[in-house]
Amino acid sequence: MYTIGKLSKNTGVTVRTLDYYDEIGLINPSSKTDGGHRLYNEDDVMRLERVLALKYMGFSLEQIKDIVNSSTSTWQQSIQQQLEMIRREQERLKMLEQALTGVSFSIEFEGEINWSIIFNIIQLYQQDVEDIFQQYKDYLNNDEMRKIIEMDAQMSKEDMKEWMEAISDIKNNLEIDPGSEKAQHLVKRWLNQVEKMFGNDEELLGDMWNALQNLKEGIVFYPMDKDVIHFIERVFLTKEELK
């Protein structure tokens, strides 16, 4: 049995907050002293733990009240739920890290800033990964999305650097003849990176290429932009002709 002060000390939650939670009926202490002082038992503490976890996940107290009241889920279930949310948050942070690393490299290599990725970073700072990938839903199925997110998360700083350099090289040579040796070389280098990242899942590659052509540049294939994509396309077409 904990008084409100002891509970506050143990959890770091202020007395006023517990007071408020009692007031709105979120956590009513299971018993009281004769004088009216609140006494919290272990079930109450359990409830508080869940409330704080859910709050951390961004739910409103009103929503939390619904969740903790309605779901008859056991501890195991709610822990699993929390674990899933934490993993999603980690995914988001991983993407943020990638994006920020990308910006850093782009400033370093190109001396300029890719605005579309800045916009994506801003979005990532306030929204869920799922929401941001929503725009890709028309071109990629769920399975492909998963693969791409995972691939993105597993990309190391070095991979990122090579990827950036390969594309940066293309960007700096957009005007050269698509049939030239150099053009072929640049695209070959790019292809190597693609293969390194995505393996040789032909279907995934196809869908991604399709998505690339239809979408404005975004976080996933950063820093590929329209110019780069069109250059690669022209080189491919020239090759086809040669055959």
Q: List contacts with DNA (CB under 7 A).
A: 3-6, 8, 14-17, 19-20, 32-38, 55, 60-62
* Residue 233 interacts with its own copies (CB under 8 A): yes or no: no
Q: Which residues fall within 8 angstroms of residue 95, CB to CB, at 6 or more apart?
A: 124, 129, 149, 152, 153, 219
| Contact status, residue 172 vs residue 230, Cβ threshold 8 Å | no
> Rounded to whole angstroms, how far apart are CA atoms 69 and 147?
36
Closest CA to 53 of 26, 82, 27: 82
From candidates 1, 24, 107, 237, binder to its own copies by CB under 8 A? 107
Q: Which residues fall within 8 angstroms of residue 187, CB to CB, at 6 or more apart?
A: 170, 232, 235, 236
| Contact status, residue 21 vs residue 45, Cβ threshold 8 Å | no
- Nearest distance in Å: CB 56, DNA: 10
* Residue 93 interacts with its own copies (CB under 8 A): yes or no: yes
48-87 residues near its own copies, rule: CB under 8 A: 48-49, 52-53, 55-56, 75-76, 79-80, 82-83, 86-87
* Residue 22 interacts with its own copies (CB under 8 A): yes or no: no
> Rounded to whole angstroms, how far apart are CA atoms 158 and 174?
24
From candidates 23, 37, 41, 46, binder to its own copies by CB under 8 A? 46
Total site size for its own copies, rule CB under 8 A: 43
80 binding partner (options DNA, its own copies, none; Cβ < 5 to 8 Å by kind): its own copies
Q: Which residues fall within 8 angstroms of residue 132, CB to CB, at 6 or more apart?
A: 120, 123, 124, 219
Give the number of other Cβ atoms within 10 Å of residue 68's Cβ: 19
162 binding partner (options its own copies, DNA, none; Cβ < 5 to 8 Å by kind): none
103 binding partner (options its own copies, DNA, none; Cβ < 5 to 8 Å by kind): its own copies
Give the number of other Cβ atoms within 10 Å of residue 224's Cβ: 18
Which residues contribute to the site for its own copies (CB under 8 A)?
10-13, 42, 45-46, 48-49, 52-53, 55-56, 75-76, 79-80, 82-83, 86-87, 89-90, 93-94, 96-97, 100-101, 103-104, 107-108, 113, 115, 118-119, 121-123, 125-127
